[in-house]
Protein backbone atom coordinates (compact mmCIF):
# COMPACT_ATOMS: atom_id res chain seq x y z
CA UNK A 1 0.00 0.00 0.00
CA UNK A 2 2.82 2.34 0.94
CA UNK A 3 4.69 1.55 -2.27
CA UNK A 4 1.64 2.34 -4.36
CA UNK A 5 1.20 5.69 -2.60
CA UNK A 6 4.88 6.57 -3.09
CA UNK A 7 4.66 5.67 -6.75
CA UNK A 8 1.60 7.90 -7.12
CA UNK A 9 3.41 10.81 -5.51
CA UNK A 10 6.45 10.31 -7.70
CA UNK A 11 4.32 10.32 -10.83
CA UNK A 12 2.44 13.43 -9.72
CA UNK A 13 5.71 15.21 -9.01
CA UNK A 14 7.09 14.16 -12.39
CA UNK A 15 3.97 15.39 -14.16
CA UNK A 16 4.15 18.70 -12.28
CA UNK A 17 7.83 19.12 -13.12
CA UNK A 18 7.19 18.35 -16.77
CA UNK A 19 4.30 20.81 -16.88
CA UNK A 20 6.40 23.48 -15.21
CA UNK A 21 9.22 22.97 -17.72
CA UNK A 22 6.78 23.17 -20.61
CA UNK A 23 5.30 26.40 -19.28
CA UNK A 24 8.75 27.95 -18.80
CA UNK A 25 9.76 26.92 -22.32
CA UNK A 26 6.59 28.43 -23.78
CA UNK A 27 7.10 31.65 -21.85
CA UNK A 28 10.69 31.96 -23.09
CA UNK A 29 9.63 31.30 -26.67
CA UNK A 30 6.87 33.90 -26.36
CA UNK A 31 9.37 36.48 -25.08
CA UNK A 32 11.79 35.98 -27.96
CA UNK A 33 8.98 36.09 -30.50
CA UNK A 34 7.55 39.25 -29.01
CA UNK A 35 10.93 40.95 -28.39
CA UNK A 36 11.24 42.58 -31.87
CA UNK A 37 7.80 44.11 -31.44
CA UNK A 38 8.72 45.30 -27.97
CA UNK A 39 12.03 46.77 -29.22
CA UNK A 40 10.87 48.42 -32.43
CA UNK A 41 7.18 48.93 -31.99
CA UNK A 42 4.51 49.15 -34.66
CA UNK A 43 5.16 52.86 -35.58
CA UNK A 44 7.89 54.37 -37.82
CA UNK A 45 8.80 58.01 -37.11
CA UNK A 46 8.85 60.52 -39.98
CA UNK A 47 12.21 61.14 -41.69
CA UNK A 48 14.33 63.91 -40.26
CA UNK A 49 17.21 65.87 -41.84
CA UNK A 50 20.66 66.81 -40.69
CA UNK A 51 21.91 70.06 -42.29
CA UNK A 52 25.26 71.83 -42.43
CA UNK A 53 25.71 75.10 -44.30
CA UNK A 54 29.07 75.80 -45.94
CA UNK A 55 29.57 79.54 -46.31
CA UNK A 56 30.81 81.26 -49.45
CA UNK A 57 34.47 82.22 -49.49
CA UNK A 58 35.50 84.41 -52.40
CA UNK A 59 38.74 86.36 -52.11
CA UNK A 60 41.91 87.46 -53.87
CA UNK A 61 44.51 84.72 -53.60
CA UNK A 62 47.00 87.07 -55.29
CA UNK A 63 46.47 90.83 -55.40
CA UNK A 64 47.42 92.91 -58.45
CA UNK A 65 50.83 94.54 -58.08
CA UNK A 66 52.13 97.97 -59.06
CA UNK A 67 53.01 98.33 -62.73
CA UNK A 68 56.07 99.98 -64.21
CA UNK A 69 55.55 100.40 -67.93
CA UNK A 70 58.17 98.80 -70.17
CA UNK A 71 59.37 101.08 -72.94
CA UNK A 72 61.06 104.46 -73.12
CA UNK A 73 58.89 107.13 -74.71
CA UNK A 74 60.12 110.47 -76.01
CA UNK A 75 57.66 113.28 -75.50
CA UNK A 76 58.41 114.75 -78.95
CA UNK A 77 59.09 111.82 -81.30
CA UNK A 78 56.71 109.52 -79.42
CA UNK A 79 56.57 105.78 -78.84
CA UNK A 80 54.69 103.00 -77.06
CA UNK A 81 54.94 101.34 -73.66
CA UNK A 82 53.04 98.48 -72.04
CA UNK A 83 52.82 96.93 -68.61
CA UNK A 84 50.87 94.09 -67.02
CA UNK A 85 49.67 92.91 -63.65
CA UNK A 86 48.14 89.57 -62.72
CA UNK A 87 45.62 88.76 -60.02
CA UNK A 88 44.26 85.44 -58.80
CA UNK A 89 40.81 84.82 -57.33
CA UNK A 90 39.88 81.80 -55.20
CA UNK A 91 36.20 80.98 -54.72
CA UNK A 92 34.07 78.03 -53.60
CA UNK A 93 30.93 79.76 -54.86
CA UNK A 94 29.30 77.39 -57.38
CA UNK A 95 27.98 80.31 -59.45
CA UNK A 96 31.32 82.09 -59.62
CA UNK A 97 32.32 85.72 -59.16
CA UNK A 98 32.96 88.95 -61.03
CA UNK A 99 35.63 91.65 -60.81
CA UNK A 100 35.30 95.36 -61.54
CA UNK A 101 37.99 97.99 -62.09
CA UNK A 102 37.68 101.69 -61.28
CA UNK A 103 40.28 104.42 -61.62
CA UNK A 104 40.85 107.04 -58.97
CA UNK A 105 39.15 110.38 -59.39
CA UNK A 106 42.22 112.60 -59.20
CA UNK A 107 40.35 115.83 -59.79
CA UNK A 108 41.12 115.93 -63.52
CA UNK A 109 39.40 114.44 -66.58
CA UNK A 110 42.33 112.03 -67.12
CA UNK A 111 43.24 108.88 -65.18
CA UNK A 112 47.01 109.31 -65.60
CA UNK A 113 48.57 112.60 -64.54
CA UNK A 114 52.08 113.97 -64.06
CA UNK A 115 53.64 113.43 -60.65
CA UNK A 116 55.36 116.84 -60.70
CA UNK A 117 52.72 119.22 -61.99
CA UNK A 118 49.56 117.10 -62.50
CA UNK A 119 49.98 117.39 -66.27
CA UNK A 120 47.04 115.97 -68.20
CA UNK A 121 49.00 115.39 -71.42
CA UNK A 122 48.39 111.61 -71.32
CA UNK A 123 44.72 111.48 -72.22
CA UNK A 124 42.25 108.69 -71.51
CA UNK A 125 41.77 106.46 -74.56
CA UNK A 126 39.14 108.08 -76.75
CA UNK A 127 37.95 105.25 -79.00
CA UNK A 128 35.53 103.28 -76.80
CA UNK A 129 32.51 102.02 -78.73
CA UNK A 130 29.36 102.83 -76.80
CA UNK A 131 31.23 102.52 -73.53
CA UNK A 132 32.71 99.15 -74.54
CA UNK A 133 36.25 98.27 -75.68
CA UNK A 134 37.25 99.00 -79.27
CA UNK A 135 38.69 96.43 -81.65
CA UNK A 136 42.36 97.32 -81.95
CA UNK A 137 44.06 100.39 -80.53
CA UNK A 138 43.15 103.56 -82.40
CA UNK A 139 45.85 106.22 -82.27
CA UNK A 140 45.08 109.90 -81.87
CA UNK A 141 46.90 113.19 -82.22
CA UNK A 142 47.20 113.13 -78.41
CA UNK A 143 49.05 110.71 -76.14
CA UNK A 144 46.64 108.06 -74.81
CA UNK A 145 46.32 105.59 -71.94
CA UNK A 146 44.22 102.40 -72.23
CA UNK A 147 43.92 98.86 -70.86
CA UNK A 148 42.79 95.38 -71.90
CA UNK A 149 42.09 92.12 -70.05
CA UNK A 150 42.77 88.43 -70.65
CA UNK A 151 42.41 85.34 -68.45
CA UNK A 152 44.08 81.95 -68.16
CA UNK A 153 40.59 80.52 -68.76
CA UNK A 154 39.09 82.43 -71.70
CA UNK A 155 35.55 82.22 -70.38
CA UNK A 156 36.56 84.09 -67.22
CA UNK A 157 37.13 87.38 -69.03
CA UNK A 158 34.08 89.59 -69.31
CA UNK A 159 32.51 89.30 -72.80
CA UNK A 160 33.28 93.00 -73.38
CA UNK A 161 36.85 91.93 -74.13
CA UNK A 162 35.89 89.07 -76.47
CA UNK A 163 35.90 89.59 -80.22
CA UNK A 164 34.84 87.96 -83.48
CA UNK A 165 37.82 89.19 -85.46
CA UNK A 166 36.20 92.50 -86.32
CA UNK A 167 34.48 93.95 -83.25
CA UNK A 168 34.75 93.56 -79.49
CA UNK A 169 31.98 92.80 -77.02
CA UNK A 170 31.07 89.98 -79.40
CA UNK A 171 31.53 86.20 -79.65
CA UNK A 172 33.62 84.15 -77.21
CA UNK A 173 37.11 84.46 -78.73
CA UNK A 174 39.84 86.19 -76.78
CA UNK A 175 42.93 87.68 -78.38
CA UNK A 176 45.65 89.44 -76.45
CA UNK A 177 46.15 93.17 -77.09
CA UNK A 178 42.99 93.41 -79.17
CA UNK A 179 40.11 94.94 -77.22
CA UNK A 180 41.17 98.23 -75.61
CA UNK A 181 39.18 100.16 -73.02
CA UNK A 182 39.30 103.71 -71.76
CA UNK A 183 39.94 104.08 -68.01
CA UNK A 184 37.03 105.49 -66.03
CA UNK A 185 36.20 106.42 -62.46
CA UNK A 186 32.98 104.40 -62.74
CA UNK A 187 33.44 100.67 -62.16
CA UNK A 188 33.68 98.47 -65.26
CA UNK A 189 33.37 94.69 -65.18
CA UNK A 190 36.49 92.94 -66.47
CA UNK A 191 36.03 89.36 -65.21
CA UNK A 192 32.81 87.36 -65.09
CA UNK A 193 33.28 83.72 -64.07
CA UNK A 194 30.24 81.45 -63.66
CA UNK A 195 31.84 78.51 -61.82
CA UNK A 196 33.89 78.05 -58.67
CA UNK A 197 37.66 78.44 -58.65
CA UNK A 198 38.77 76.46 -55.61
CA UNK A 199 42.43 76.34 -56.65
CA UNK A 200 42.48 79.91 -57.98
CA UNK A 201 41.86 81.53 -61.39
CA UNK A 202 44.28 84.01 -62.96
CA UNK A 203 43.46 87.11 -64.99
CA UNK A 204 45.80 89.71 -66.46
CA UNK A 205 45.35 93.44 -67.01
CA UNK A 206 47.58 94.98 -69.67
CA UNK A 207 48.04 98.75 -69.86
CA UNK A 208 49.21 100.74 -72.86
CA UNK A 209 50.54 104.27 -73.32
CA UNK A 210 50.84 105.54 -76.88
CA UNK A 211 52.46 108.86 -77.70
CA UNK A 212 52.34 109.81 -81.40
CA UNK A 213 55.11 111.87 -82.97
CA UNK A 214 54.31 115.52 -82.43
CA UNK A 215 51.59 114.79 -79.87
CA UNK A 216 49.35 117.65 -78.87
CA UNK A 217 49.62 118.54 -76.09
CA UNK A 218 53.28 117.56 -75.77
CA UNK A 219 53.85 115.40 -72.66
CA UNK A 220 56.40 117.08 -70.41
CA UNK A 221 59.35 115.07 -69.10
CA UNK A 222 58.22 113.49 -65.81
CA UNK A 223 56.62 110.32 -64.49
CA UNK A 224 52.87 109.95 -64.95
CA UNK A 225 50.78 107.85 -62.58
CA UNK A 226 47.27 106.37 -62.59
CA UNK A 227 45.69 104.60 -59.61
CA UNK A 228 43.16 101.79 -60.02
CA UNK A 229 41.11 99.61 -57.68
CA UNK A 230 39.75 96.11 -58.26
CA UNK A 231 36.53 95.06 -56.51
CA UNK A 232 35.55 91.39 -56.19
CA UNK A 233 31.97 90.13 -55.86
CA UNK A 234 30.45 86.66 -55.53
CA UNK A 235 27.77 85.97 -58.16
Q: What is the pLDDT of residue 42?
A: 84
Domain total in the chain: 1
Query: CA dist 125 to 106, 131, 210, Å?
Result: 17, 11, 9
Give the global pTM.
0.80
Q: What is the pLDDT of residue 147?
A: 99
- Angle in degrees, CA 228, 100, 73, rounded to 5: 35
Instruction: Tell me whether residue 185 is in a domain.
Output: yes
Instruction: Tell me whether residue 117 is in a domain.
Output: yes
Instruction: Tell me whether residue 80 is in a domain.
Output: yes
Tens digit of pLDDT at every position of the chain (235 positions): 445 555 555 555 555 556 565 665 655 555 555 555 555 568 999 999 999 999 999 999 999 999 999 988 999 999 999 999 999 999 999 999 999 999 999 999 999 999 999 999 999 999 999 999 999 999 999 999 999 999 999 999 999 999 999 999 998 899 999 999 999 999 999 999 999 999 999 999 999 999 999 999 999 999 999 999 999 999 9
Residue 70 belongs to domain spanning: 58-234
Instruction: Tell me whether residue 199 is in a domain.
Output: yes
Instruction: Tell me whether residue 88 is in a domain.
Output: yes
Instruction: Tell me whether residue 40 is in a domain.
Output: no
Q: What is the pLDDT of residue 145?
A: 99
Query: What H or E segment, with its residue span, contains residue 228?
Result: strand 228-234
Enumerate residues 6+ apart whose C-beta is below 8 A from 141.
212, 214, 215, 216
Instruction: Tell me whether residue 148 is in a domain.
Output: yes
- DSSP bridge partners of 204: 86, 150
Query: What H or E segment, with its residue span, contains residue 151?
Result: strand 143-151
Instruction: Tell me whether residue 30 is in a domain.
Output: no
Amino acid sequence: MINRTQTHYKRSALYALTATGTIVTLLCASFFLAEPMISYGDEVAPDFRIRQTITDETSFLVYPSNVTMAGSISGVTGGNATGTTDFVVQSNNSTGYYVEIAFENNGTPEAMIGDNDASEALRDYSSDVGGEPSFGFTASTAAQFAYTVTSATIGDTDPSFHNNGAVCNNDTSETAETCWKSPATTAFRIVDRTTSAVTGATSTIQFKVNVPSGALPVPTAQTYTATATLSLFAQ
